[in-house]
């Protein structure tokens, strides 16, 4: 079987990571094209990968005959056009979140893909591929814990870029817990409220950080998430499910525990999401590449979160941003999936 020829669009931190991943750790694929709005960056990166070229226009990169599949790590506002181009050329695409930046364009993408009666779009919610999340999901799918009732989460970043605003804490950070909730519980989120406690004095002026998100699923399960993106410490993502017959927690950072001089003991917290979820990204990409190879026979070029999952997350985040401004609980507005055959 010949290697999948992949174009990586957007080679900032995440995209450049994916280029390295596809070129060194993933089997069955190689990067043949890179693109970035900073042309020099793409050209310099291409020069380090045998058989890889930089193409200046993202739509030309998608259409290129030397490209079988596409990775989008470009800024969110460019996704809609690029996803539609992938659909037009029938090229499988792994799209980093967000699917698109608003609910109506996300729904449009879902409908356009459904019209093709094939699955080409996978959304990069990588936590579903993390060993700990996968173990938690397996536990919940068995019947040992009984009915899950409550989900408690903490999502802490050491720092965020200066461009990060209060709404991005919802759209860029909380979006992962939105997907985790839908993944673990297998149901949609019906309402969301964002509470703004006293802000961290060390946070940039005007940034509402920390935030507490309270969500309710359609069957009435409760989810709370502490979001705190300027801790100055390290990267912490903890998730605890409380169920009918017990509870389970992941994200304790319990790797190597050392006991040492001075009667101290302790270990290491991961510095950032690329380290914490490195294994998840690798697994996600290997499974995606394998699915794209299989897709020629199955018509499904994905193995993970779909365009619908991207749309559902956008709908919850939209309601979350409304609540961030009003302080009130907001109902999530979503179309009924059954009205879009094939979605």
Nearer to ligand ISE, 105 or 157 (CB): 157
| 156 lines the binding site for ligand ISE (CB under 6 A) | no
Looking at 176, 182, 221, 293, which residue binds ligand ISE (CB under 6 A)? 176
Element (H, E) at 215: strand 211-217
Q: Which CB atom, from 273 or from 301, has the smaller least distance to ligand ISE? A: 273
How far apart are alpha carbons 204 and 230 in whole angstroms?
9
- Stretch near ligand ISE under the rule CB under 6 A, chosen from 46-54, 170-178, 215-223, 257-265: 170-178
Which residue stretch of 68-76, 133-141, 171-179, 186-194 sits at the interface with ligand ISE (rule: CB under 6 A)? 171-179
Alpha helices, H only, 99-160: 103-115, 131-141
Rounded Cα distance, 267 and 258, in Å: 6
Q: Which of 264, 287, 76, 275 is nearest to 157 (CA)?
A: 275
Q: Kind and range of the H or E element at 164? A: none
By beta carbon distance, the residue nearest ligand ISE is 173
Minimum distance, C-beta of residue 229 to ligand ISE, in the bound complex (Å) = 6
Within positions 216 to 275, which residues make up the interface with ligand ISE, using CB under 6 A? 229, 273
Sign of CA dihedral 192, 197, 202, 204: positive
Class of residue 103 by CB neighbours under 10 A (exposed 0-12, middle 13-18, buried 19+): buried
H helix runs in the chain, sequence order: 13-24, 39-47, 58-63, 79-88, 103-115, 131-141, 166-168, 175-185, 273-276, 278-298, 307-326
Select 96 or 318, whichever has its Cβ closest to ligand ISE.
Answer: 96
Stretch that binds ligand ISE, among 146-154, 172-180, 206-214, 283-291 (CB under 6 A): 172-180
Using the contact rule CB under 6 A, the part of the chain among 105-113, 142-150, 169-177, 189-197 near ligand ISE is: 169-177
Stretch that binds ligand ISE, among 42-50, 56-64, 144-152, 168-176 (CB under 6 A): 168-176
The nearer residue to ligand ISE, 68 or 130, going by C-beta atoms, is 130
Q: Which is nearer to ligand ISE, 21 or 176 (CB)?
A: 176
d(CA 336, CA 317): 18
Cβ proximity to ligand ISE, 84 vs 229, nearer residue: 229
Q: How far apart are CA 227 and CA 281, in angstroms?
A: 22
Binder among 35, 100, 122, 157 for ligand ISE (CB under 6 A): 157
User: CB-wise, 43 or 102, nearer to ligand ISE?
Assistant: 102
Bridge partners for 134 per DSSP: none
Which residue from 180, 174, 179, 206 is spatially nearest to 193, judged by alpha carbons?
174
Residue 282 sits at the vertex; the CA angle it makes with 277 and 285, to the nearest 5 degrees, is 120
Window 14 to 53, contacts with ligand ISE (CB under 6 A): none
Task: CB nearer to ligand ISE: give 285 or 301.
Answer: 285
Of 36, 68, 113, 172, which lies in the binding site for ligand ISE, with binding defined by CB under 6 A? 172
User: Which residue carries 């019906």 as its tokens?
Assistant: 190
- Binding-site member from 32, 173, 302, 323 for ligand ISE (CB under 6 A): 173
Residues 178, 316 contacting (CB under 8 angstroms):
yes
Residue closer to ligand ISE, measured from CB, 165 or 240: 165
What residues line the site for ligand ISE (CB under 6 A)?
A: 157, 160, 172-173, 176, 229, 273
């Amino acid at each position: 079987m010949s290697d999948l020829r992949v174009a990586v669009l957007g080679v900032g931190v995440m995209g450049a990571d994916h280029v390295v991943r596809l070129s060194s750790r993933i089997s069955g694929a190689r990067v043949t094209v890179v693109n970035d709005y900073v042309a020099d960056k793409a050209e310099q990166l291409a020069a380090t990968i045998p058989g890889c070229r930089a193409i200046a226009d993202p739509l030309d990169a998608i259409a290129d005959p030397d490209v079988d599949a596409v990775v989008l790590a470009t800024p969110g506002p460019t996704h809609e056009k690029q996803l539609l181009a992938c659909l037009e050329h029938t090229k499988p695409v792994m799209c980093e979140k967000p699917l698109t930046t608003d609910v109506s364009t996300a729904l449009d993408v879902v409908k356009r893909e459904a019209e093709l009666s094939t699955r080409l779009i996978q959304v990069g919610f990588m936590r579903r591929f993390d060993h700990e999340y996968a173990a938690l999901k397996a536990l919940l799918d068995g019947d040992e814990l009984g009915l899950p009732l409550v989900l408690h989460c903490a999502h802490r970043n050491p720092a965020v870029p200066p461009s990060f605003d209060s709404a991005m804490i919802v759209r860029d950070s909380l979006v992962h817990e939105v997907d985790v909730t839908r993944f673990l519980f297998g149901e949609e989120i019906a309402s969301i409220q964002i509470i703004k406690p006293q802000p961290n004095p060390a946070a940039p002026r005007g940034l509402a950080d920390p935030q507490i998100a309270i969500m309710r699923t359609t069957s009435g399960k409760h989810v709370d998430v502490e979001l705190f993106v300027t801790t100055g410490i390290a990267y912490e993502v903890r998730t605890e499910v409380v169920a009918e017959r017990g509870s389970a927690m992941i994200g304790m950072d319990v790797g190597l525990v050392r006991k040492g001089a001075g009667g101290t003991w302790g270990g290491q917290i991961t510095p950032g999401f690329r380290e914490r979820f490195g294994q998840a990204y690798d697994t996600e990409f290997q499974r995606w590449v394998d699915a794209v190879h299989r897709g020629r026979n199955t018509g499904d070029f994905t193995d993970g979160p779909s365009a619908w999952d991207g749309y559902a997350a956008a709908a919850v985040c939209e309601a979350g941003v409304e609540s961030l401004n009003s302080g009130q609980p907001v109902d999530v507005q979503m179309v009924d999936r059954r009205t879009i055959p094939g979605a």
